[in-house]
Structure 1
Amino acid sequence: MALKILLLLLASYLLVTKRVSANDEEFGVQATYAKAPVPAPVKTPIPAPPVKPPTVTPNPPAPVVKPPTVVPKPPAPPVSPPTVAPKPPAPVPPTVVPKPPSPPVNPPTPKPPASPVKPPTVAPKPPVPPVTPPTTAPMPPVRTRLDCVPLCDQRCKAHSRKNICVRACMTCCDRCKCVPPGTYGNREKCGKCYTDMTTHGNKPKCP
């Protein structure tokens, strides 16, 4: 590779020197009309340095391959024949001892007849008295809206929002002419007019 580079540099150098010498000759021809010809200086070419041959490194000697050592196999142990165990002697059949004769079976002695069992006497239960419904006081009559005020006040006294309860109770009392007794329940005593009255959200209106 270095030799090729040196040859390329030498060839380019010679080409440049030839062009320079050719230019100098043309310049000398043009100047003959005015001046006497001046000999052009001749440049001596620079000798190329001697090319050294590439140094070849000798290959290292190949290692000596030792043949594999063959280990002799141990001799196989002698195969011993299987030992046959002697068969046990045949079992002697057991001697059958004759059973003694069974004694005669005596018939069972009859038992005396059992006395008849009397059924237990069940005492009649006393009659259950009829359940009487609790007597409730009759509801006071409602004629005008003024009669609803004390009844709704009594009905809504245990309500958490008493004013809203009294307002709804007054409307139901004015329309149905009835207020259920107590503070809760008993709505069916005022009939369907009281139980079927609902709000816009289809919820029971009357307390």
Structure 2
Amino acid sequence: MTVPRAFIFDMDGTIVDNMAFHTKSWLAFFERRGHAIDADEFFRSTAGRQGHEIMRTYLDAGLTKEDAALLDAEKEELYRELYAPHLEAVAGFEEFIATAQQEDVRLAVATAAPPANIVFTLDGLDLRRHFDAVVGAADVARGKPNPDVFLLAAERCGVAPEHCIVFEDAPLGVEAARRAGMRAVVLTTTLPAEAFAEFDNVVKLARDFSELDIGELFATTPFTQQAQ
């Protein structure tokens, strides 16, 4: 009997090369409130975290859930306005997942994005139909680097963590995969390869999906770090 296998994809910066637009929207959001932030440091510290976690870190640790949700909605509306004219999948993605499906690999999305952004991206590109599971910020209490979103995606696919490979573009996401006991493939859409040198669960770095071979990825040694 064949062991079930899965690919779990982060969305922003991985399925779509959009992180520059997220950064622009955050800069504009904070500028409205008189805050100046360093774009590079902000990305490294926050990519993969949920919106309410970021709001509490940068604005007010005592924000209520309702107030944080309103602020997050404002920021995400800015992002969608900026990115909408540029919405497209990373090169090779659709061909890659089509091949994966032919080889009986289960597919999931595991993202820190709120529901409106998941609809904007997956439905905007007509990609949702390809996935066995879609897990977002509304489905888990904690964002990355906690492993919750990846573990739930694996559970919904019916695949053990050691047989899942995560696709990510951010260090916090790769760390979340490590804590979940999963191998990771890094897309260097946002950061250079050296930004991921410390991670022992990274099995491949690539500029886009056209550089990836499914058989080669699953031939790598499973990573066995247990969830924390």
Structure 1 length normalisation: TM-score?
0.17
Q: Which has the higher strand share?
A: 2
Q: Which has the higher helix share?
A: 2
Higher gyration radius (CA): 1
The one of the two structures with greater contact order (alpha-carbon pairs below 8 A, sep at least 6) is 2
